[in-house]
């Protein structure tokens, strides 16, 4: 999570004064992690809200008091709140307007008085090495990265599964989606915020422009195009590449990619099928399985062809 200045700026432009409530620290079992945040603003009916710090009584109490409270507050998640998590959350509530937004920077650090040495060391290292620190409370100083580390995800194909995937993954703050298909009319009229669309009649030529740490999901309307994209991906660097299909499609693509000069070790980096067989073949069910697979990648080392639970069948 990070301090998303752009989202906050849009909220201030639309609503005037906006309260930002961020989870500054946690102890024990809590509904959200440090850095999770929500925005709150006044409305004629009471208040409006964007984002979540975990829902339930904690979030309701924090939202109701957000515009009248500032600074740090500690909240045990016990009987007083009608919650049984057993942990405790420290919240930082701050008020912003369009005129008081912090200047763009790699790190947003704030607190009373002069920054203590641990904060200065953290911010100096972030600026010198370009590393985004994890959100954390150091004494009474809150430190958050202002530039979110976002995982580049390139989704090739705007059919039913592609649309379901974009709808499922686009709300995640740490995923930057680039969506590719062969023509503008392949995309829906409404594109989720933050999603970049790239129509191109020869989409495989765009592969070389993808970041080397990108995750790719290939699920176009054409097996020939899928093959061309797999060939292009294997000729380029990537972090993960998933291909919609069946075991039969995997076997056929393996043979054809060998004929194109790729080794079995290289071909084995493409994961096919993708998804989770138990969830079924409905586009939304496939999207849920693939989304879970993508979210697991950081904690799993196996990104090879064979995912026993995979189920996509294109």
157 lies in the same domain as 201? yes
**Residue 310: what pLDDT?**
44
Whether residues 133 and 164 share a domain: the answer is no
**Residue 132: predicted pLDDT:** 78
Place 308 in a pLDDT band, splitting at 50, 70 and 90.
Answer: very low
Residue 156: inside a domain:
yes
Does residue 310 belong to any structural domain of this protein?
Answer: no
Quick one: 117 and 175 in the same domain?
A: no
Domain end call among 145, 173, 189: 145
User: What percentage of the chain has pLDDT greater than the value 90?
Assistant: 74
The CATH number linked to 272 is 3.40.50.720
Q: Say whether both 31 and 126 belong to one domain.
A: yes
Give the predicted TM-score (pTM) of the model.
0.70
Task: Tell which of 145, 170, 196 closes a domain.
Answer: 145
CA distance 278 to 186: 29
The domain of 55 spans: 5-145
Phi-psi region of 160 (alpha: psi -120 to 50; beta: other; left: phi over 0): alpha
Answer whether residue 260 is part of any domain: yes
Please state the domain count of the chain: 2
Of 122, 145, 168, the residue that ends a domain is 145
CB-count exposure of residue 150 (10 Å: 0-12, 13-18, 19+) = middle
Number of H-type helices and E-type strands within the chain: 8, 14
Q: Which of 30, 138, 8, 144 is nearest to 87 (CA)?
A: 30
**What is the per-residue pLDDT across 203-249, written as a single tens digit (0 to 9) for each?**
999 999 999 999 999 999 999 999 999 999 999 999 999 999 999 99
Q: How does residue 193 score in pLDDT terms, banded at 50, 70 and 90?
A: confident
Same domain, 88 and 176: no
């Amino acid at each position: 999570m990070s301090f998303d200045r752009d989202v906050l700026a849009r909220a201030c432009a639309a609503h005037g004064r906006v309260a930002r409530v961020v989870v500054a620290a946690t102890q024990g079992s809590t509904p959200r992690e440090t850095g999770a945040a929500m925005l709150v603003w006044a409305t004629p009916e009471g208040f409006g809200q964007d984002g979540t710090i975990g829902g339930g009584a904690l979030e309701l109490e924090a939202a109701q008091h957000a515009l009248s409270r500032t600074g740090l507050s500690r909240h045990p998640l016990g009987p007083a709140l009608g919650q049984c998590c057993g942990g405790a959350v420290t919240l930082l509530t701050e008020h912003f307007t369009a005129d008081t937004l912090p200047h763009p920077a790699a790190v947003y650090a704030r607190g009373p008085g002069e920054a203590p040495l641990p904060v200065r060391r953290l911010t100096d290292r972030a600026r010198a090495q370009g590393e985004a620190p994890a959100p954390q409370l150091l004494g009474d100083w809150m430190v958050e990265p202002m530039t979110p580390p976002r995982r580049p995800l390139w989704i090739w194909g705007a059919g039913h599964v592609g649309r379901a995937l974009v709808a499922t993954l686009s709300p995640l703050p740490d995923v930057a989606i680039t969506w590719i298909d062969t023509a503008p009319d392949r995309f829906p009229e409404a594109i989720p915020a933050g999603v970049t669309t790239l129509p191109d009649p020869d989409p495989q030529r765009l592969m070389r422009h993808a970041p080397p740490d990108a995750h790719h999901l290939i699920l176009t309307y054409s097996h020939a195009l899928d093959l061309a994209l797999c060939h292009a991906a294997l000729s380029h660097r990537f972090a993960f590449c998933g291909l919609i299909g069946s075991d039969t499609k995997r076997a056929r693509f393996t043979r054809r990619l060998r004929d194109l000069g790729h080794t079995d070790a290289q071909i084995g980096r493409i994961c096919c099928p993708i998804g989770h067989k138990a969830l079924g073949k409905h586009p939304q069910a496939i999207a849920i399985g693939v989304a879970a697979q993508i979210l697991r990648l950081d904690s799993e080392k196996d990104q090879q062809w064979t995912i026993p639970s995979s189920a996509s069948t294109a």
